[in-house]
C-alpha cells in the first residue's frame, strides 16, 4: 500500500475491515490507509497487563507507533455487568480461563456459558450491562522507537444480559447483550452494529483527533 498509513494494533482482519468502515470518511479526507500489524514483519504481541481498558489500548498503540514509526490506533473493550461490579471488564476475553479448554469449548462459548451461569438467579431488572471500549491514538516520536502525542476516547453500548445466546452476526458476548429494541448485538447487521456499538462510538470520537492531528 502506497501513501500515508495508519496502523491498527491488531492481527484480527475482521477488526481492520470493521474500522475501515467506521473511519471511511476521515480516511478519505486525510488520504490515510489503514493496515493491521500483519503488514509488518517481526512485531510482537503486546501483553495486555493494564488494569483499565484505556491502559491496555495505550500499551498496544504505543508499541505499534514505536515499532513502525507510524501513527497507531488500538482499542480494548469488554463487557461490564452492573450486578457484578463491572466484571468481566478487562478480563472479558479470558473470563472462563482454563475452563474453556477443559470443557472442549471455544473461548467465546466458554465465556458466555460461565457468565450465564453466574447470572442464572439474577432477575431481569438487575441484568443491566454495557460493552465498553477505549480507543487510543498514539503518534510516533521525533526519534526512532519513541512515541509522541496520545489521545484516548471511550464508547459504551448499553443493554441487558439475555438468558441465552441469540444471533450469528457477532462474536464474543454479542449474542448475549440485548439492546432496547429487543435484539442482541449479534442480531444486528454490520451497518447497524457499527452505528450503535461501543467500538463505533469510541472510534467515531477518535476520528476527530485523527483528522486534527494528521489531516
Could you give the domains of the chain?
A: 5-214 (3.90.950.10)
Verify whether residue 76 is a known catalytic residue.
yes
% of the chain beyond a pLDDT of 90: 83
Residue 130 near residue 159 (C-beta atoms within 8 A):
yes
Helix ranges (H only) for the chain are 13-22, 24-30, 53-68, 99-102, 107-118, 190-196, 198-214
Q: What is the mean pLDDT of residues 150-162?
A: 98
Nearest-5° angle of CA 136, CA 49, CA 73?
20
Instruction: Kindly report the average pLDDT of the chain as a whole number.
Output: 93
Tens digits of residue pLDDT in 30-56:
999 999 999 999 999 899 999 999 999
Q: Please tell me the predicted confidence (pLDDT) of residue 215.
A: 84
188 is in an annotated binding site: no
Catalytic one of 38, 75, 76, 209? 76
- Burial of 91 (C-beta count, 10 Å sphere; 0-12/13-18/19+): middle
Angle at 90 between CA 40 and CA 202, to 5 degrees: 65
Binding site annotation covers 76?
Answer: yes
Q: Could you say which DSSP state residue 45 is in?
A: P
Grid cell in block for residue 110: 466458554
Which residues, 6+ apart, have CB-to-CB distance to 151 below 8 Å?
A: 136, 137, 206, 209, 213
pLDDT greater than 80 at residue 2 = no
Is 107 marked within a binding site? no
* pLDDT for residue 103: 67
When pLDDT is averaged across residues 109-136 and rounded to a whole number, the result is 97
For cell 464508547, name the residue: 155
Mean pLDDT confidence for 128-150:
97
Mean pLDDT, rounded, for 80-100: 93
Would you place residue 98 in the very low, low, confident or very high pLDDT band (cuts 50, 70, 90)?
A: confident
Residue 99 pLDDT more than 90?
Answer: no
Residue 13 annotated as binding? yes
Amino acid at each position: 500500500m502506497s501513501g500515508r498509513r495508519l496502523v491498527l494494533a491488531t492481527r484480527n482482519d475482521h477488526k481492520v475491515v470493521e474500522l475501515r468502515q467506521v473511519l471511511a470518511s476521515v480516511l478519505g479526507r486525510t488520504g490515510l490507509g489503514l493496515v493491521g500489524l500483519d503488514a509488518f514483519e517481526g512485531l510482537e504481541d503486546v501483553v495486555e497487563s493494564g488494569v483499565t481498558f484505556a491502559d491496555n489500548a495505550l500499551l498496544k498503540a504505543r508499541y505499534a507507533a514505536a515499532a513502525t514509526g507510524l501513527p497507531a490506533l488500538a482499542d480494548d473493550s469488554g463487557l461490564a455487568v452492573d450486578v457484578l461490579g463491572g466484571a468481566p471488564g478487562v478480563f472479558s476475553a479470558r473470563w472462563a480461563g482454563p475452563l474453556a479448554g477443559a470443557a472442549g469449548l471455544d473461548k467465546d462459548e466458554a465465556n458466555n456459558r460461565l457468565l450465564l451461569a453466574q447470572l442464572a438467579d439474577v432477575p431481569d431488572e438487575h441484568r443491566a450491562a454495557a460493552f465498553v471500549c477505549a480507543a487510543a491514538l498514539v503518534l510516533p516520536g521525533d526519534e526512532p522507537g519513541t512515541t509522541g502525542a496520545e489521545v484516548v476516547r471511550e464508547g459504551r453500548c448499553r443493554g441487558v444480559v439475555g438468558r441465552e445466546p441469540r444471533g450469528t452476526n457477532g462474536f464474543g458476548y454479542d449474542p448475549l447483550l440485548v439492546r432496547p429494541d429487543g435484539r442482541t448485538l449479534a442480531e444486528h447487521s454490520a451497518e447497524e452494529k457499527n452505528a450503535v456499538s461501543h467500538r463505533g462510538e469510541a472510534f467515531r470520537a477518535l476520528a476527530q483527533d485523527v483528522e486534527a492531528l494528521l489531516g
